């Protein structure tokens, strides 16, 4: 048999020793909280060791008028008292005045007092006189009400006499209400009894504390064994979105390699998104088909006049970088057009311009936007992982090495590289990675920034740069075929996505 939980043993022993009864009593005799008892009762019931019977009982709740009666006596008693105080006899009008209450309460008090025979009336000189005829000092109703209120008695616990009193009182408005409650009665079954007899009082612990470990006392303790196969309810606590979790993981990977994070605005002038990266103004990537353009609300500030001038020269004739440039008529207007950044390389290149670092290792994991038709592989809004290394001796081999290392941290071990083309890097590489059970997938683009990019910014050392999509890595990890699923925010899916993979 599976080992019994500490609470199960405690409850069984207590039931065998003290007998069964209502859940509340059983609970307190076994020295448990009501929650512990509920759980334990359920476990033991499913194992056939206890039987449960549910009985409906009535709790009596004393309402406002009832409470007033407890404090000041029933209205009829107050009336008789008042009548006594004004001489034991009075006309109705005098009594109403002395009683000093609402008309309604007076008539109730009067009616009850007369019905109980505490007062009677006679007529004298044509007027009706009320007088005290008897008085009951026992205050049966009041003391019963008080007991009910203080002890929370159940209707079924009262004597027959008392039940009658309660029923009478409950006819008065706002005195009492009877509330049916289910009462759980618990008893050991034969199986439970025989098992309870075998339980020895072994003191087991179910928590290893630092103290126990440090003092070595754990060696003398008996540890409760755990049933790791026991069925447990599924819990769905709040947790981070899988994308956000992966973003954090990527940040961690970069930081562990000594990179610092940089961020920048989502809206960029074409100048930083394209021109500073030596993307010619007629390049297809700048097309409306690929890029989201925004209306120009304000004149954007691009950079210093000097820098804008140097970059325009690089485009037109190489500007003394040793390049011939693209040889076309560069325009400031085109550079000022606002875009939702299409890659985080816009942020990287602005960082280079601002810092002119001779040595640097920075990264960003941030949103980019592409004017794409959505399908199983494409989103219009996605995350890009981007990094650069500025170093005097940096080479393409270093770039491949760092990337392999970086992806290894994320659990991706097989990476392949081959040459490709970007307007801003030379040489340029493309990479793919192998994901178990998923196959090969495109990873990121990379290269060494061209002198046409770095020299106008004032950066002399080589800059290794790379950038790639984040969502597809999450897809591979979560074995998702359709990229759109990541952002559908289907609650069922979000709940089921495992935290560790």
Residues near ligand PHE (CB under 6 A) are 343, 345, 422, 425, 445-447, 465-467
Please state the closest distance from residue 368 (CB atom) to ligand PHE, in A. 7
- Beta strands at 204-205 and 222-223: parallel, antiparallel or unpaired: parallel
Between 272 and 466, name the residue whose CB sits nearer to ligand PHE: 466
- Residues 6 or more apart whose CB falls under 8 angstroms from that of 204 comprise 6, 221, 222, 223, 224
Between 5 and 343, name the residue whose CB sits nearer to ligand PHE: 343
Q: Would you list the DSSP string of 141-190? A: HHHHHHHHHHHT-BGGGS-HHHHHHHHHHTTSTTSEEEEEEEEEEEEE-H
Between 175 and 449, name the residue whose CB sits nearer to ligand PHE: 449
Q: Locate the DSSP E strands across 355-438.
A: 360-369, 381-390, 414-422, 425-435
- Beta strands at 360-369 and 381-390: parallel, antiparallel or unpaired: antiparallel
Give Dmax over CA atoms of the chain in angstroms. Answer: 134
Contact predicate 348/364, CB 8 Å = yes
Between 144 and 453, name the residue whose CB sits nearer to ligand PHE: 453
Between 453 and 475, name the residue whose CB sits nearer to ligand PHE: 453
Nearest CA among 206, 262, 244 for reference residue 486: 244
Q: CA-CA distance, 317 to 328, in Å (whole number)?
A: 8
Please state the closest distance from residue 479 (CB atom) to ligand PHE, in A. 24
What are the backbone angles phi and psi of residue 481, rounded to the nearest 5°?
-95, -30
Q: CA-CA distance, 442 to 91, in Å (whole number)?
A: 104
Residue that the structure tokens 């790639």 belong to: 468
Please state the closest distance from residue 429 (CB atom) to ligand PHE, in A. 8
Residue 299 buriedness (CB in 10 A; 0-12 / 13-18 / 19+): exposed
Please state the closest distance from residue 318 (CB atom) to ligand PHE, in A. 21
Please state the closest distance from residue 245 (CB atom) to ligand PHE, in A. 23
Please state the closest distance from residue 406 (CB atom) to ligand PHE, in A. 14
Q: CA-CA distance, 415 to 425, in Å (whole number)?
A: 20
- C-alpha 420 chain-centroid distance: 45
Please state the closest distance from residue 381 (CB atom) to ligand PHE, in A. 14
Please state the closest distance from residue 467 (CB atom) to ligand PHE, in A. 3
Between 62 and 465, name the residue whose CB sits nearer to ligand PHE: 465
Please state the closest distance from residue 419 (CB atom) to ligand PHE, in A. 12
Long-range contacts of 410-419 (CB under 8 A, 24+ apart): 410/249, 410/250, 410/253, 410/473, 411/477, 412/443, 412/473, 415/443, 416/440
Between 462 and 467, name the residue whose CB sits nearer to ligand PHE: 467
Please state the closest distance from residue 450 (CB atom) to ligand PHE, in A. 10
Which residue in the shown chain puts its C-beta closest to ligand PHE? Answer: 467
User: Is 293 strand, coil or helix?
Assistant: strand
Cis peptide before 437 (omega within 30 of 0): no
Between 75 and 467, name the residue whose CB sits nearer to ligand PHE: 467
Between 196 and 453, name the residue whose CB sits nearer to ligand PHE: 453
Between 28 and 420, name the residue whose CB sits nearer to ligand PHE: 420
């Amino acid at each position: 048999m599976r080992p019994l939980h500490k609470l199960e043993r405690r409850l069984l022993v207590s039931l065998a020793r003290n007998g069964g009864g209502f859940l509340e009593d059983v609970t307190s005799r076994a020295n448990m909280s009501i929650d512990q008892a509920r759980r334990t009762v359920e476990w033991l019931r499913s194992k056939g060791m206890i039987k449960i019977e549910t009985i409906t009982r009535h709790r009596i709740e004393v309402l406002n008028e009832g409470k007033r009666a407890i404090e000041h006596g029933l209205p009829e008693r107050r009336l008789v008292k008042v009548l006594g105080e004004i001489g034991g006899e009075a006309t109705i009008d005098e009594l109403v005045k002395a009683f000093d209450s609402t008309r309604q309460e007076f008539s109730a008090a009067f009616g009850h007092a007369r019905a109980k025979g505490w007062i009677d009336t006679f007529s004298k000189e044509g007027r009706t006189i009320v007088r005290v005829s008897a008085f009951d000092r026992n205050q049966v109703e009041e003391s019963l009400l008080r007991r009910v209120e203080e002890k929370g008695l159940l209707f079924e616990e009262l004597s027959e006499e008392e039940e009658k009193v309660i029923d009478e009182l409950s006819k008065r408005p706002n005195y009492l209400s009877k509330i049916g409650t289910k009462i759980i009665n618990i008893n050991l079954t034969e199986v439970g009894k025989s098992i309870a007899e075998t339980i020895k009082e072994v003191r087991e612990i179910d928590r290893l504390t630092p103290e126990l470990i440090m003092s070595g006392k754990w060696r003398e303790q008996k540890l409760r064994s755990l049933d790791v196969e026991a069925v447990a309810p599924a819990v769905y606590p709040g947790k981070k979105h899988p994308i956000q979790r992966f973003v954090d993981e990527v940040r961690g990977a970069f930081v562990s390699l000594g990179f610092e994070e940089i961020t920048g605005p989502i809206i960029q002038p074409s100048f930083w998104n394209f021109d500073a990266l030596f993307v010619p103004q007629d390049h297809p990537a700048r097309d409306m088909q690929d890029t989201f353009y925004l209306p120009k609300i304000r004149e954007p500030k691009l950079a210093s006049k000097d820098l804008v001038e140097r970059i325009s020269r690089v485009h037109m004739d190489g500007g003394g970088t040793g390049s011939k440039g693209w040889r076309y008529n560069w325009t400031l207007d085109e550079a000022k057009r606002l875009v939702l950044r299409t890659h985080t390389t816009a942020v990287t290149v602005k960082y280079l311009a601002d810092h002119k670092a001779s040595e640097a290792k920075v990264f960003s994991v941030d949103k980019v936007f592409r004017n794409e038709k959505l399908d199983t592989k494409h989103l219009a809004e996605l995350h890009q992982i981007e990094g650069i290394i500025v170093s005097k001796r940096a080479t393409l081999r270093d770039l491949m090495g760092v990337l392999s290392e970086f992806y290894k941290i994320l659990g991706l071990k097989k990476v392949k590289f081959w040459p490709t083309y970007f307007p801003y890097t030379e040489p340029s590489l493309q990479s793919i990675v192998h994901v178990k059970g998923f196959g090969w997938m495109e990873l990121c683009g990379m290269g060494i920034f061209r002198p046409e990019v770095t020299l106008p910014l004032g950066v002399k050392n080589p800059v290794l740069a790379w950038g790639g999509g984040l969502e597809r890595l999450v897809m591979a990890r979560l074995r998702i075929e359709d990229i759109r699923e990541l952002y559908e925010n289907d609650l069922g899916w979000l709940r089921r996505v495992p935290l560790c993979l």
